Each structure stands twice: as structure tokens, then as C-alpha cells.
Amino acid sequence: MGDEGTDGTVHLLCLAASSGVPLFCRSSRSGAPARQQLPFSVIGSLNGVHMFGQNLEVQLSSARTEDTTVVWKSFHDSITLIVLSSEEGTSELRLERLLQMVFGAMVLLVGLEELTNIRNVERLKKELRVRLQTNLSQESEHVPWASSEGTALSPPTSLTQEALSGFGEAAGTAFVSLVVSGRVVAATESWWRLGTPEAVLLPWLVGSLPPQAARDYPVYLPHGSPTVPHRLLTLTLLPGLELCLLCGPRPPLSQLDPQLLDRCWQPLLDPLRACLPLGPRALPAGFPLHEDILGLLLLHLELKRCLFTVEPARDREPSPQQRRRLLRSFYTLVTATHFPPEPGPPEEKAEDAACQPHVPRACYLASGTEEPGRGWRLVALQLGPRRLLLLLSAQSPIHGLRGLATRTLHALTPLL
């Protein structure tokens, strides 16, 4: 995996496949936007070698140099996305998933028709520049680099669920959620059943937009409705807490009047305020977490939800950015090499079970063992549909990693 404390730069390029015209470029360094951009000659060369392979019926998907990993991916023979990463420990799998999510974000914002039938390149460039305001080359801290998990923070109360369902019924939609800082706190069952990648991208979009009291935002659903737009309505209940509704042509935003909001949500102000700290922390206040835990990722593979935080013990090293990178690389490692793939249809589950008679249940990595008190520990554990990844301080003894992970998973189970 390399030293995850090492800075790295990520460049994301989007080009029209037929002409090679760049539609947008994004760069980040150590998770923050970077001004450094690739020269046009380099962009042209990267696209040219990909097109050269295609002309020879050779699909160029990835390449590595001494310090950089490059991944190419074409979508509908219309859009080519290229990502270059000099972060140590970067895998082709993670970068390919990043490109899939980026294309999903493009569909979400402008629709599939605009991307597959480009009539005016300059107009598309302008539209993407206006709507893709965030730096897409940054990894989302809300949803951890996986394939399809929506982010759940804590089990909603029955009153909250009733309010969500009641408000949705009054507004004429079954798709309602509460979002804190780009994370879903609670949602209706229909919202949770949204397909990939909209279950990930809709909260990301809400978290990336500047604060507003209310919005009526057109969106396309990359999986469910890539050519016909829907409306994403958002209403700020408290600063940092937004009520989100996915609707068709109705209702108009003006119909969601203050009286309806007060009737549904005024009695729940205290539970709503309790949700606000969950944005960065993800865990309820007072949740018993072992002092050695510096970060965790809990996946429920069947529900397609996750719980993720790097907030425990913020005053200790490594930094939250480094913790995210460590968990991200470990997730990619265990997904690609150790644990079975995420569950699919019943027939695929049976086939996987037949092909994998010996399935790992736990694995770990340790760094800094040659220097007591330095480095970190990473452990992954899978029990049933739940997969837990923990980042632990170097003080945590290696022989106790599995026991600590097991106890933590049992404690987290009621949350997800």
C-alpha cells in the first residue's frame, strides 16, 4: 500500500471521444483542489494513445509508470474519461470506480442524451463547467469509494420515519430523506431502494451545493431515468440539515408551504438538532468506541448502506485526510483480493459459494512494528452481510485485533 502519508496528485480529464476536445479538467493534491494542470500536449497524447489502440481493436484500460497510475474509460463511444494518480497505493480498481461515478455525476446533472449526442461541444463545456462546480477528482468523504453504498448514520426514530412518510405523502412522493453535510441521516424505504449510482450521487450533490433555504433542482437518475429529468427539492430545516424530495412535475416548490413544514417537523426539533453532529462524526453522541479506533467503515452488503467516520480521537496522528487514504486503500485491497464480491442475484450467490469453498473472514495489516508506538493497524472482519474495516493506533496489540473488531461490529450492528 505504500506510505499513505505521502502527498499525491490526481488529475481527472474528460474529453469528447470523437474529437478529443477537452470538456473539463480537475486536479487535486492531498485531497484539496490544485491549480496545477496538465499541458494540452500531455492531454492530447493520453487521448491519442487510447484512440490508437481502439483503431487497432485493442482496449487500453490502464498503465503504470514509476510514480503514476493512469486509467482510461470510454462511455457510449461519446465520452472518454482519463484519471492519473501519483498517490502511493493507488489501484486501477479504485480509479475505475471513480471514473464510473464521475460519469454518473455528469448524467445526473446534464442527462445521458446530452452526453451521447453532442451537438455543440462548446455549449456542453459551458454547461458542465457551470454545473460541475465541485472538484470531482477529490474523493468524497461521505461515501467511501465503494460501488453503491448509500450513507446511513444512525437508526432513525419511529417519529422521524413517520414524519418523513407523512411529509412525502402530503407532497405526493415516496422519495424523501434527511441529509446532513452530504450524508443521509434518515430516509423512506423508497429512497433507500434507489439504484446505483443515484443513491450515492444525490446526497453528494446536496452536500456540494451552496446553502439555500429551498431549491428546485433538475436531475437525471443515471440508473433509473437517464434521459427524463426529475426534480430534487430541498428545504433547510436547520442550518446544515436539509429535507430532500425526489419528485416528478409536481408538486411545485411553492406548495410546500411553511404550515406543512411546521406541522410535520416542529414537534421534532430536538431529534433534528441531535442529527447535526452526525454529519462529521457519523456515530451518535456517547457511542462506546474503543480508544484505539481512529476510523471505521461498516458496510451492509445487502442493504447497500454504509457507516463511515475518521473523526475519533482527532487530536492524534494520522490526520483525517491520511486516515481516509488508509481506509480507502485497505478497502480496495480486501475487496479485490481477500473477501468475496458483493452479493448479486441468488443464482450468482450460489455460484460464488460453489467456487469459493474457503472464504476469509478476517485479515489485517500492520505498519511500524519495528518501532514500538509508531505506525498503525488495519483490520477487516466479515460476519454475514456486514463487513467492518477498522483503522487502529499502533498501541493496539496485533493479537487482539480480531477480538476488538468482533466486539466493535456487535456494538455497531444496531446502527446498520
Please tell me the distance from the alpha carbon of residue 203 to that of residue 221, in angstroms, as a whole number: 13
DSSP lists the bridge partners of residue 235 as: 214, 243
Same domain? 174 vs 272? yes
The confidence score (pLDDT) of residue 403 equals: 95
- Using alpha carbons, select from 408, 409, 413, 385 the residue that is nearest to residue 152: 413
pLDDT tens figures, 210-251: 889 999 999 999 999 999 999 999 999 999 899 999 999 988
Phi (first) and psi of residue 336, to 5 degrees: -80, -30
Distance CA 197, CA 221 (A): 8
Within this chain, do residues 262 and 332 fall inside the same structural domain, yes or no? no
Domain count, the chain: 3
Burial of 11 (0-12, 13-18, 19+ CB in 10 A): buried
Residue where a domain stops, chosen among 81, 99, 131: 131
Distance CA 370, CA 174 (A): 55
Say whether both 275 and 300 belong to one domain: no
CATH code assigned at 346: 3.30.450
Asked if pLDDT for residue 148 goes beyond 50, the answer is no
Q: Please list the residues that pair with 232 across neighbouring strands.
A: 217, 246
Task: Inform me whether the pLDDT recorded for 140 exceeds 50.
Answer: no
* 2-42 pLDDT tens trace: 333 346 889 999 999 988 999 999 888 866 777 778 888 99
Cell of 229: 429529468
Residues 52 and 14 in one domain: yes
Residue 145 lies in a domain: no
**266 and 308 housed in the same domain:** no
Same domain, 163 and 277: yes
Asked if residue 139 is part of any domain, the answer here is no
**Same structural domain for residues 319 and 342?**
yes
Q: Which of 367, 376, 416 is nearest to 396 (CA)?
A: 376
Paired sense of beta strands 9-16 and 79-85, if any: antiparallel
Rg over CA atoms, the chain: 22
Let me know if residue 356 belongs to a domain.
yes
pLDDT of res. 262: 83
CATH code: domain of residue 51: 3.30.450.70
Question: For residue 349, is it within any domain?
Answer: yes
Grid coordinates in use for 125? 463545456
pLDDT tens, position by position, 180-193: 888 888 899 999 88
pLDDT average, residue stretch 248-277: 84
Same structural domain, 331 and 366? yes
* CATH code for the domain of 245: 3.30.450.30
For 310-358, write each residue's pLDDT tens digit. 888 777 888 888 888 889 889 888 887 888 666 554 444 444 444 555 6
* Distance in angstroms (rounded) separating the CA atoms of residues 42 and 229: 36
Grid coordinates representing 362 are 478476517
Summary mean pLDDT of the chain: 84
Is 3 a member of any domain? no
Q: Which domain holds residue 49?
A: 9-131
DSSP 4-54: TTS--EEEEEEEETTT--EEEEEEEETTEE------HHHHHHHHHHHHHHH
End residue of a domain, out of 281, 303, 327: 281
Looking at the structure, tell me whether residues 244 and 308 fall in a common domain.
no
- Domain annotation covers residue 360: yes
Is there a single domain that holds both residue 222 and residue 256? yes
Residues 255 and 307 in one domain: no
In a domain, 127, yes or no: yes
Domain contains 173 = yes
In tens, the pLDDT along 170-179 reads 889 999 999 9
Torsion region of 82: left, alpha or beta (phi above 0 gives left; psi -120 to 50 gives alpha): beta
Check whether residue 313 and residue 255 sit in a common domain: no
**Average pLDDT of span 283-292:** 85
For residue 53, what are the contacts with CB-CB under 8 A and spacing of at least 6?
A: 59, 60
